[in-house]
Amino acid sequence: MTVTAGRFVGQSVKRKEDPRLVTGHGTYVDDITVPGLLHAAFLRSDVARARITSIDTGAAAALEGVHAILTATDLNDHVRGPMLPTLFVDGAQGPSAPIKPLAAGDVRFVGDPIALVVAESRAVAEDACDLIEVGYDILEPVVDFEQAASSTELVHAELGSNVGSTMALPPDESLDAAFADADRVVAATFHQHRHTNVPMETRGIVAAFDRYRDELRVWMSSQNPHEVRLCCARILGLPENKVRVTQSDVGGGFGQKYFMPHDEMVIVLASHLLGRPIKWIEDRRENLVASNHARADKADVQLAVDADGRFVAARIDHLEDSGAYPMGGTGGTGAFVAMLFTGPYRVPKLGWSTTAVWTNTCGRGAYRGPWMFETVARESLVDVVAREIGVDPLELRRRNVIQREELPYASPSGIVFDNVSPAETLEQAATLIGYDEFRREQAAARDEGRYLGIGLGLYIEPQAGMGPLGVEAAGLRVEPNGTVNVFLGSGSHGQSLETTMAQVVAEHLGVDVDAVVVHQGDTDIAPFGGGTGGSRSGPFLSSAARQAARQIRDKAIQIAAHMLEAAPEDLDLDGGVVAVVGTPTRSVTLADVAKTAYLGSDALPPGMEPGLEVVTRYKAPTVTFSNACHACTCEVDVETGRIRLLRYVVSEDCGAMINPMVVEGQIAGGVAQGIGGVLYEHVVYDEAGNPLTATFMDYLLPTAAEVPTIEYGHIETPGITPGSHKGMGEGGAIGAPPAVFNAVADALAPLGVRLTRQPLTPSAILDAIDAAQRSPVQR
C-alpha cells in the first residue's frame, strides 16, 4: 500500500509558530501579568526524611514586601478534593501517595514544600525563605529503590509498606516448559538510571481568584488545559464554569506538564485563600530537584532461544522507583513495560512481574515514552543473546522480527499488532547505515587498536486511545468573511499543532493553509479535549480536525448548490471557491457562502440551520501502533572512556505523515534526549538522599556538539485512523537509548566487557573495561 501526499497533508509546510518563536516573541506564562500580582517562592525541605519539630516564620514575615507566609496549618484544610490527576481520582490506576499541599509534621524528600512565601517580588520571596527557621528531627531515609521493599523504614508510614504496587502473571507451566526445553537461556540484569524531563521552560503558573465573582482565572505552562480546569475545580470545590485556564506558548513538557503538578495546585489554593493573583515561576534548581524524575528502573530479564536462534520464551521481572510523590498513582507504567517487553519479535511465551516502590526521593512522572524501559531491556538483551550464541545482532533480529505476512500478530500479552513494519524498518535502517560495510570498517579498525561499534534499537510504539484518552474534539467556524478558525482541546507544547492541524483542515475543507488559524489552550474557547501527550495528537486530534472540516465542507457545498442552482454532487470546494466541476465560471467563494450562512439566512436551502460552524468529536480506536528502527555507530577511546557517536540513522513508520519536516523534528528531539539519557543525564542522590545534580553544571544535557547529524528513512504503512496517521512523538526517546547502548557494548565486546547499567560515563566505561580484565567473561 502506498500513501499519496495531498496538497497540504504530506507536505513540509513551514511552521506557523516559528515567526514569533524564533524571533523571541512568544508568550510564555512568565510574560503574563495582571494588576495586583504577587509572587511566590516555596521553602523546600533540604533533608530527605525528618520530623518537623518547629517552623519559625517570624523574621521572614517581618521582611518588607512579604504579603503572606503559608504553612500546612494555613493551607492544608483548604483543599476540597483529591490533589490527583482526574484519571487517578477513582483509585483504579493504582494506589496514590498521601498528597498534601504543604508538609505537615514531616518531610519525605529533599524538595518537599514546607512553606509558601507570597511577596511583592520573587526576590523578596526568596529572601524571606532564607529567614524561615525549620527544626528537623532527622530520620533515616529510604534512598536505594532496590532496598526499599525490605527496609524497615517507611516512606509513607500511613501506607504500611514501601511497596506501592506489585503485579505478576500467575505461574505458567507451559512457560516453565518452554524455558526448560530451550536450547539456550540467556539472562541479564539491566539498570536504567534516574533522569528527568528538563523542559526548556520550567513549570509556571499565574492563578487569579476573584472572590467577588467567585471565579478562578489560570494561566499555566501546561500540556492539558482542560485537565488543569478539572483539577482546579476539584481542589477548590468550584463549578467548572467558574474556572478558565489558558495555556499560551509552552517551552516543552515531555510529560511533566500533562497532569497538573502538585506545586501549581498549591498556588491555586493560595490565590483562593488570599484572594490575590499569584505568579510562581519555577527556577531551574527546583525543576531539577522537585518537579518530577523519571526512568529509574531495574529488570531481571531472560530470553530462551532454540538451536536456530529463534526466540521461544521471555521473562521480565521489573522494579521501578516511584519516589515519594509520583505524579498520579503508581504501578501503571510497570504493566506496560512488562506487557510490551517482547516488542516487535515473534515470542510465543512471556512471563512477568512488576513492582513499584516508594523512596524518599523526588516523585516519578511521565517522561517521553514512560514505559520505554521495555525497549531498553529487550534490545539490550537481544544483543547479549547475539554475542552469547555467536550470531550477528542484525541477523538475530532478522530471524525473529515479525514479518508483514504474519500480521495481525497477537503478542503473548494479547496485544494485537497490525499495520506495522518492524522488518521493513530494520532493513531500511541497516541499508541506510551501511551495516555490512561498517562491520568491515570495524574489523579493520580493531586491527589498528581502535574500538568501533554499531547498535540497533527496534520497537513498536503504542498510542493509547482507551477511555478518556480516546476522544478528541475539534471546533471549526467559517467566519462571515470566509476566514477559518479552528478550536482544539489540545495542548501543543512544541508539536507544531498550529501548523499540522491547519494542514489537515485546509486539505479537507478546501482552503489555503494560510486561511486557517488554529486556536488551542484556552478552556473558554476550545471544546473539552484531552490535551497533548502520549503521541495522540497526530493520529487522533487530526481525525477530529478532519471530521470537522469535512462536515463544514459538506454544508458549504449544499449552501453553494442552492445559491448556484446546481446539484451538490456537481460541486467542488477548492482554494476557498465552490465551483461547478468543469464550469469554473459558475462559482461562489467560501466567503459568499459564509455570508449567506450567517447574514442571508433567507437564501439558505429550506430547513437548513443558519451558520457555518461545528463542534465534533472523534472516538479513537483502542490503540494504534507506529514503529521504528534506530541504528547508531560509535568509537570508544579505551584509554579515556570517551564515546564519540559517528552516525545516527532512524527508519520511522508513523503511517501517512502530515508534515515530514515536523515528523523529523520530533524524531530529532527524542533522539537527542535518548542520547542524553545514555551518555550524560543522571539525577544523582547521595546516601542521605541529597540531590547532587541540582544545576546544569552537574545534570548534563546533550548539546548540538554531542548529537550527530540524524539521517532519516520513512516507511508509510497506513494506520487505521481516517487519515492513516500514527503517533510518533515519543519514539525518538524510546529507540535511541538501546541503539547507543548497544553500539558502545558492541565496540567493547572484544575486550570481554558486559555493560548492564546506564549512564555510560567515561568513568563507567573504564571501570567496565577494568572489571572485564580482572575477570574475563567466559565466551
d(CA 29, CA 280): 9
User: Smallest distance from the beta carbon of 82 to another protein, in angstroms?
Assistant: 32
CB closer to another protein out of 27 and 695: 695
Q: Looking at 15, 78, 122, 193, which residue binds another protein (CB under 8 A)? A: 122
User: Smallest distance from the beta carbon of 70 to another protein, in angstroms?
Assistant: 20
CB closer to another protein out of 683 and 728: 683
User: Smallest distance from the beta carbon of 639 to another protein, in angstroms?
Assistant: 5
DSSP 294: B
Q: Are 486 and 548 in contact (CB under 8 A)?
A: yes
> Strand pairing of 215-220 and 243-246?
parallel
Within 737-776, which residues bind another protein (CB under 8 A)?
A: 761-763, 766-767
Helix (H, G, I), strand (E, B) or coil at 745: helix
d(CA 393, CA 733): 21
Q: Are 98 and 50 in contact (CB under 8 A)?
A: no
- DSSP class per residue in 147-194: HHTT-SS-SSGGGT-SEEEEEEPPP-HHHHHHHHH-SEEEEEEEEE--
* Range in contact with another protein (rule: CB under 8 A) among 122-130, 241-249, 667-675, 745-753: 122-130
Question: What x-and-dash track marks residues 409-448 binding another protein by CB under 8 A?
Answer: ----------------------------------------
d(CA 58, CA 55): 9
- Residue 123 binds another protein (CB under 8 A): yes
Cell numbers describing residue 630: 534506530
Question: What x-and-dash track marks residues 602-641 binding another protein by CB under 8 A?
Answer: -------------------------------------xxx
Q: What is the helix (H) or strand (E) element at residue 410, kind and residue range?
A: strand 409-410
User: Smallest distance from the beta carbon of 26 to another protein, in angstroms?
Assistant: 21
Q: Are 388 and 184 in contact (CB under 8 A)?
A: yes
- DSSP class per residue in 359-378: -SSPPB---SSTTTHHHHHH
Q: Residue 426 — φ and ψ, nearest 5°?
A: -60, -45
User: Smallest distance from the beta carbon of 268 to another protein, in angstroms?
Assistant: 23
| Cα-based torsion angle of the residue sequence 456, 457, 460, 466 in order, rounded to the nearest 10 degrees | -170
User: Smallest distance from the beta carbon of 115 to another protein, in angstroms?
Assistant: 17
Cell numbers describing residue 96: 496514590
CB closer to another protein out of 641 and 722: 641
Q: Helix 393-400 to helix 422-433 angle, to the nearest 10 degrees?
A: 160
User: Smallest distance from the beta carbon of 123 to another protein, in angstroms?
Assistant: 4
Q: In terms of Cα–Cα distance, which of 119, 120, 103 is closest to 111?
A: 103
User: Smallest distance from the beta carbon of 697 to another protein, in angstroms?
Assistant: 8
CB closer to another protein out of 1 and 697: 697
Residue with cell 492544608: 76
Within 645-704, which residues bind another protein (CB under 8 A)?
A: 680, 682, 684, 692-693, 695, 697-698, 700, 702-703
Sign of CA dihedral 651, 464, 225, 676: negative
- Residue 34 binds another protein (CB under 8 A): no
User: Smallest distance from the beta carbon of 765 to another protein, in angstroms?
Assistant: 9
Q: What angle do CA 566, 570, 576 make, to 5 degrees?
A: 90
Cell numbers describing residue 409: 500478530
d(CA 206, CA 416): 44
User: Smallest distance from the beta carbon of 288 to another protein, in angstroms?
Assistant: 11
Cell numbers describing residue 778: 567466559
- DSSP class per residue in 124-149: HHHHHHHH-EEEEEE------HHHHT
CB closer to another protein out of 286 and 716: 286
CB closer to another protein out of 21 and 63: 63
CB closer to another protein out of 118 and 469: 118
CB closer to another protein out of 301 and 643: 643
CB closer to another protein out of 213 and 774: 774
CB closer to another protein out of 123 and 599: 123
User: Smallest distance from the beta carbon of 289 to another protein, in angstroms?
Assistant: 12
User: Smallest distance from the beta carbon of 141 to another protein, in angstroms?
Assistant: 19
User: Smallest distance from the beta carbon of 125 to another protein, in angstroms?
Assistant: 8
DSSP 541: I
Cell numbers describing residue 335: 504493566
Q: Are 233 and 301 in contact (CB under 8 A)?
A: no
Q: Looking at 30, 106, 126, 479, which residue binds another protein (CB under 8 A)? A: 126
CB closer to another protein out of 99 and 766: 766
Q: Report the side by side order of strands in the sheet with 577-580.
A: 571-574, 577-580, 583-589
> Strand pairing of 50-56 and 204-210?
unpaired
CB closer to another protein out of 583 and 763: 763
Within 265-284, which residues bind another protein (CB under 8 A)?
A: 283-284
CB closer to another protein out of 286 and 472: 286
Question: What x-and-dash track marks residues 704-723 binding another protein by CB under 8 A?
Answer: -xx-----------------
* Range in contact with another protein (rule: CB under 8 A) among 72-80, 118-126, 226-234, 261-269: 118-126
d(CA 116, CA 72): 9
CB closer to another protein out of 80 and 644: 644
Q: In terms of Cα–Cα distance, which of 265, 267, 220, 261 is closest to 244?
A: 220
- Residue 127 binds another protein (CB under 8 A): yes
Q: What is the helix (H) or strand (E) element at residue 536, kind and residue range?
A: none
User: Smallest distance from the beta carbon of 665 to another protein, in angstroms?
Assistant: 22
> Strand pairing of 215-220 and 204-210?
antiparallel
- Residue 120 binds another protein (CB under 8 A): no
Q: How many residues bind another protein (CB under 8 A)?
A: 30
CB closer to another protein out of 601 and 695: 695
User: Smallest distance from the beta carbon of 705 to another protein, in angstroms?
Assistant: 4
CB closer to another protein out of 21 and 684: 684
- Residue 64 binds another protein (CB under 8 A): no
- Residue 642 binds another protein (CB under 8 A): yes
- DSSP class per residue in 304-335: EE-TTS-EEEEEEEEEEEEESS-SSBSSHHHH
Helix (H, G, I), strand (E, B) or coil at 413: coil
Within 68-97, which residues bind another protein (CB under 8 A)?
A: none
CB closer to another protein out of 165 and 361: 361
Burial degree of 745 (CB within 10 A; 0-12, 13-18, 19+): buried
- Residue 130 binds another protein (CB under 8 A): yes
User: Smallest distance from the beta carbon of 680 to another protein, in angstroms?
Assistant: 7
Cell numbers describing residue 28: 510564555
User: Smallest distance from the beta carbon of 257 to another protein, in angstroms?
Assistant: 20
AA letter at 564: L
CB closer to another protein out of 20 and 284: 284
User: Smallest distance from the beta carbon of 633 to another protein, in angstroms?
Assistant: 20
| Cα-based torsion angle of the residue sequence 223, 225, 231, 236 in order, rounded to the nearest 10 degrees | 140
Sign of CA dihedral 767, 188, 431, 668: negative
Question: What x-and-dash track marks residues 281-310 binding another protein by CB under 8 A?
Answer: --xxx-------------------------
* Range in contact with another protein (rule: CB under 8 A) among 119-127, 187-195, 298-306, 513-521: 119-127
- Residue 133 binds another protein (CB under 8 A): no
d(CA 265, CA 269): 6
The contact set with another protein (CB under 8 A) reads 122-123, 126-127, 130, 283-285, 639-642, 680, 682, 684, 692-693, 695, 697-698, 700, 702-703, 705-706, 761-763, 766-767
